[in-house]
Amino acid sequence: MKSGPMITRLAIAVSVTLFLMSGIRLFAEAHPHPPIQRLPQVTTTSPQSTPAQQVTTADISAGIKRHLASTRKRSSDKKFHINYQGKDLALDLVRVHDDQLSSLGGGKYFACVDMKATNGAIYDIDFFMAGQPGSMRVTETSVHKINGKPLYDWKEQGGIWKKVRVS
């Protein structure tokens, strides 16, 4: 019976898992966004058997991607453009943070997107959205971080999450 190598492999697997979990926790702490209600992945139905108009994370993600594609299509250089401090930033999508898609309440939603500029800088763009499943629309965009450095943070005031200046 060769239990020694099996125990060693199990110990290594447990150690690697714990190491990776601590890294995920550190990433989450280094990437603060409003810790607000997470959305379900599926819609539900009401007791009257009519489909509910519940927005899911998939609806928000699809709305962001649709907005980016539409904006890029209209752009002559096929990039997403945002004005930041009087400069026009031409950006390419790196990824939508599907783990950061959230409800702000009152039919408003939040999504975080990483984008890359032509000079290599990475911009974390916060998108605020409203709408119904299948027709989410972007209502506001904001540059949250440049190369990982936050320009603002989030603070809860009276049950409402607000942007606050980084000290």
Give tens-digit pLDDT for 33-64: 554 444 433 333 333 333 456 888 888 888 89
105 vs 97, residue with greater confidence: 97
Averaged pLDDT for residues 124-136:
89
- Sequence letter at residue 81: H
What pLDDT is stored for residue 27 in this prediction?
Answer: 41
Q: Cβ–Cβ contacts within 10 Å for residue 109, how many? A: 26
Residue 70 has pLDDT above 60, yes or no: yes
- Cα(34)–Cα(16) distance, integer angstroms: 30
What pLDDT is stored for residue 133 in this prediction?
Answer: 83
CB 154 within 8 A of CB 27: no
Residue ranges of domains in the chain: 1-30, 34-39+54-165
pTM reported for the whole predicted model: 0.66
* Residue 149: partners with Cβ closer than 8 Å, 6 or more residues away: none
Averaged pLDDT for residues 150-158:
84
Q: What is the mean pLDDT of the chain?
A: 76
Q: Cβ–Cβ contacts within 10 Å for residue 64, how many? A: 24
What pLDDT is stored for residue 59 in this prediction?
Answer: 87
CATH number of the domain located at residue range(s) 34-39+54-165 in this protein? 3.10.450
Residue 26 has pLDDT above 60, yes or no: no
Q: Which two tokens stand for residue 50?
A: 């009519």
Helices (H), the chain: 3-30, 57-74
